[in-house]
Amino acid sequence: MFSLWFFRWLCSTFHYKPDYVSLNLLFGSLLDARAVKAAKGFLDSTGFNPAVTLLERYVKCLCKDGLVDEGIKVCTLLKEKKLRSLLELYHQGMRESEFDVVRVQCLIRALCEGGEVSQAYELLKKVLKQGLDPGHAVYPQLISIWLR
């Protein structure tokens, strides 16, 4: 957080214009510190477009903090730029961490809201095959989205 404060002071006092590498380093530091709201504020205030790997980490952090809607927006940005599909991004995150009920519920919800219903079903099948039940909240959501 001190780095963010220093960055803002430097920019406002000396009209410092940071380069792309510096912006990525600061953004990555905020993600390392799990300061998701500060990272979001940083992106909003600077308007810079971070490296793809940082955007992917940002999505994971947003989802872990329960900010799935914001995560979907970032995923949509990634998808629009054709950098990665939404499913690849989420499955990469799932491979790097253990499956748990809350994470699976968030991912299925995010996929459904992102219009990737068939991919949400694929994730559900994969999770069920591994013996994890994502809970009853998932099923009505999948059914209601499918019927739209």
Closest CA to 68 of 99, 126, 113: 113
> Higher-confidence residue: 12 or 78?
12
CA distance linking residue 148 with residue 47, whole number of Å: 35
> Highest mean pLDDT range out of 12-21, 22-31, 95-104, 137-146?
22-31
Give the pLDDT confidence score for residue 108 in this predicted structure: 82
Give the DSSP letter of residue 83: S
Whether the CB-CB separation of 92 and 121 falls below 8 Å is answered with no
Sign of CA dihedral 77, 82, 85, 89: negative
Confidence of residue 98 (pLDDT cuts 50, 70, 90): low
Q: Residue 78 above 70 pLDDT?
A: no
pLDDT tens-place string over residues 21-75: 888 888 998 999 988 988 888 888 888 888 878 888 888 888 888 888 888 888 7
Tokens linked to 2: 């001190």
Give the 3-state secondary structure of residue 46. Answer: helix
Task: Answer whether 0.85 is exceeded by the pTM.
Answer: no
What is the residue whose two structure tokens read 């995923």? 75
pLDDT tens-place string over residues 82-93: 444 445 555 655
CA distance linking residue 120 with residue 110, whole number of Å: 8
Give residue limits of the domains in the chain: 1-50, 58-148
For residue 85, CA distances in Å to 28, 68, 76, 92, 119 come to: 22, 16, 9, 11, 11
Give the pLDDT confidence score for residue 31 in this predicted structure: 92
CA distance linking residue 66 with residue 102, whole number of Å: 9
Q: How long a stretch of residues is the chain?
A: 148
Confidence of residue 130 (pLDDT cuts 50, 70, 90): confident
